[in-house]
Amino acid sequence: MHEPPATESLCVLLLILVFTLGGGFASAQLISTEEGEAWYEALKKPSWSPPDTVFGPVWVVLYILMSISAFLVWRRGGFFKQALPMTLYGVQLVLNFVWMFIFQEARELLGSLIEICCLLGAVLVTTIIFWRIKTISGIWYFILFRISAGCTSSFQFMHKVQCSLCNV
């Protein structure tokens, strides 16, 4: 298989990192308010929920791992040959960023659970496609989703709330 030149590879890796980390950072900044933080602090959380101080660093590491996964897939043929997996990567990233708004900004526990089920579908498809192209790339996706889906479903069931977004 033909390897892309090192400078092209570095540029693509940086582009993917900027897109992934930049989107996550922008989403977090847009929803980061004192009111939202107070709401989150007041939530009953599962006993296994990590401390709030680790969320930022853990998400940065996970986004970096996701970026590396996407980069490894890209290296197997470029954007044109890997259009489907790279598109799926973008879709699941957007769903991930939207989840932050539904959960933290709209404070919709059930709505965020419904959205994370959609995210599950996108992550599972992305994981399977990435796995077929480069095995290690699929593993990191599963780790990311397991953490966020577990917390979201626990919040919903611990609070037993209705979804105002669902009453349209």
Q: What digits encode the pLDDT tens for the residues 51-81?
A: 778 778 878 888 898 899 899 999 988 889 9
**Is the confidence at residue 91, as pLDDT, over 90?**
yes
pLDDT at residue 70, rounded to an integer:
92
pLDDT one-digit tens code per residue, 120-158: 888 888 888 988 887 666 676 666 666 666 665 565 555
pLDDT at residue 98, rounded to an integer:
92
pLDDT at residue 165, rounded to an integer:
47
Rounded (5°) CA angle 117-141-124? 45
* Sign (positive or negative) of CA dihedral 111, 114, 95, 62: positive
**Is the confidence at residue 43, as pLDDT, over 50?**
yes
Helices (H), the chain: 6-31, 34-42, 52-74, 78-81, 83-100, 109-133, 135-159
**Is the confidence at residue 18, as pLDDT, over 90?**
yes
**How many other CB atoms sit within 10 Å of the CB of residue 103?**
23
What percent of the chain is modeled with pLDDT above 90? 24
Q: What pTM does this model have? A: 0.79
pLDDT at residue 42, rounded to an integer:
83
